[in-house]
Amino acid sequence: MGQVHHFLDISIHRNREGFFLSQGQYAEEILERAGMKNYKPITTPVDTRQKASVIDGKLIDDSTSYRSIVGALQYLTLTHLDIAYAMQQVCLHMHAPRDVHQTMLKRILRYIKGTIGLRVQLRTSTTPMITAYSDAD
């Protein structure tokens, strides 16, 4: 069968140092489905000043579309770890999304637009050691 190049919407590129995993094509498809392919990119996935509650704003008309885009973006966190917190925030409101939550979702999509080229690198190693990083606060 040969070397793997694409698996479950993840592109895999191999070099001497290891593997690069990317979901750029999948991200483009999400932006197309959301109708945001031509939107201007933004540098951060979440507005730190905005805290939306379950009663802010008015209920949106198409909650099915909201849930569909949020679900698709959850799979994108495999290679875009930087959107994990923002995704958690929009997932909190899946049961009754409001216009402020949809604005939060659009911000994530605009961030994805500007970071489509990001990849995760998995390095080869001669020692069986796992290195992990955490933000303790």
pLDDT digits (tens, 9 = 90+) for 16-56: 888 888 988 999 999 999 999 999 999 998 887 767 776 77
Residues of the chain with pLDDT under 50: none
Which has the closest alpha carbon to 90: 121, 124, 50, 122?
50
Whether 12 contacts 6, CB under 8 Å: yes
pLDDT for position 67: 93
pLDDT for position 8: 84
**Considering the chain, what is the average pLDDT of its residues?**
86
pLDDT for position 119: 85
Percent of the chain with pLDDT over 90: 30
The sign of the dihedral angle between the CA atoms of 68, 112, 119, 77 is negative
Rounded Cα distance between 82 and 97, Å, is 23
Amino acid at 112: I
Whether 68 contacts 32, CB under 8 Å: no
